[in-house]
């Protein structure tokens, strides 16, 4: 582990100490736990953002293809295919 120095406002440090005491943990352990949670949440948020961007891009591609294809009627095409086999 690496030791760091950081500066907190007194009320924040009091809140940290209060939670640490309540949970029977050291201040350092509580801050490590909080940092890990922050990292996990950030990674999840970025993954969700990437997922949304991929969906948005897929929708854009579909809309672009729809515009290029014009007024194509899938049902009519299926019927033509069925009728040609009869």
Per-residue pLDDT tens digits for 5-39:
999 999 999 999 999 999 999 999 999 999 999 99
The Cα 35–Cα 25 span in angstroms is 15
Per-residue pLDDT tens digits for 52-61:
999 999 999 9
In whole angstroms, how far apart are CA 35 and each of 10, 15, 74? 19, 16, 53
The Cα 1–Cα 83 span in angstroms is 73
* Tokens matching residue 79: 């019927």
The residues near 29 (Cβ < 8 Å, ≥ 6 apart) are: 20
């Amino acid at each position: 582990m690496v030791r760091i120095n950081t500066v907190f406002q007194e009320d924040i440090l009091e809140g940290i100490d209060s939670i640490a005491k309540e949970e029977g943990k050291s201040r350092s352990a509580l801050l490590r736990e909080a940092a890990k949670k922050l990292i996990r949440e950030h990674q999840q948020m970025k993954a969700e953002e990437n997922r949304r961007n991929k969906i948005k891009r897929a929708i854009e591609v579909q809309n672009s293809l729809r515009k290029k294809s014009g007024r194509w009627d899938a049902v009519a095409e299926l019927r033509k295919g069925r009728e040609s086999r009869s």
